[in-house]
Chain A
Amino acid sequence: AQTVTQSQPEMSVQEAETVTLSCTYDTSESDYYLFWYKQPPSRQMILVIRQEAYKQQNATENRFSVNFQKAAKSFSLKISDSQLGDAAMYFCAYRSSQGGSEKLVFGKGTKLTVNP
């Protein structure tokens, strides 16, 4: 079974600075998908960014980018120019390429604090 590990329970960053959240995963599959989800306090979890394993190019979404290292099974999230609204729990997730539904395996999450 696939597993996702987030080794940083908590992280903090100064407003306008850059922070990197770590994620590693374990799988025997060669084709899969990886995601970062954001859960603000008492609000809905939303998708931040996704990466297809067959793509070598790292995904970017505005201030959010990933460093995808397939051989190392590493998938870190970089947040540039951090804003107060970035404060949230961040979850890394894995999805097998097989199957029809979006059954995701999540990590335990990293709580990000943004200091003014």
Chain B
Amino acid sequence: ETGVTQTPRHLVMGMTNKKSLKCEQHLGHNAMYWYKQSAKKPLELMFVYNFKEQTENNSVPSRFSPECPNSSHLFLHLHTLQPEDSALYLCASSQGSGGYTGELFFGEGSRLTVL
């Protein structure tokens, strides 16, 4: 098992669809993150979860709804998205509070296309 696994790798959806992205980490970490990666833009932090509690919501539109049922799993629920939401969505994990290493461990990303 790789450290951080994201599914699906590719997703095409219409603006009225509802879909979910899944992230699972096998590293025993306590913090998980969603980042949005768009071409020619810096990675945008969307959400941070520490010990299953959301500690950061970076003014993300409500059409993106995160869920963290436990420290190993993170979901991003998508509904009524816009074409400008098309991007690579990266999940990452880290040791979290009290266990600083400065390192994020990333998944390979989910490439989302909104038609």
Contacts and interface: CB of A to CB of B under 8 A. Distances in A.
Main secondary structure of the interface of B (DSSP, over half): loop
Contacts of A44: 2, 4, 106-108
B102 interface: yes
Contacts of B101: 102
A90 interface: no
A101 B90 contact: no
A43 B100 CA distance: 25
Given A42-B108, A95-B102, A101 B55 contact: yes
Contacts of B43: 91, 104, 106
A50 B102 contact: yes
A64 interface: no
B42 A102 contact: no
Interface in B20-49: 31, 33, 40-43, 45, 48
A100 B106 contact: no
A109 B41 CA distance: 8
Contacts of A43: 108
B28 to A, nearest CB: 15
A36 B26 CA distance: 24
B24 to A, nearest CB: 14
B107 to A, nearest CB: 6
Interface of B: 2, 4, 31, 33, 40-43, 45, 48, 50, 55-56, 90, 94-98, 100-104, 106-108
In the A-B complex, the 6 residue pairs with the closest CB atoms: A100-B97, A102-B94, A106-B43, A45-B106, A101-B31, A106-B42
16 contacts: A43-B108, A44-B108, A45-B106, A47-B104, A91-B43, A100-B50, A100-B96, A100-B97, A100-B98, A101-B97, A102-B33, A102-B96, A102-B103, A103-B56, A106-B42, A108-B42
Interface of A: 4, 9, 33, 35, 37, 42-47, 50, 91, 95, 100-109
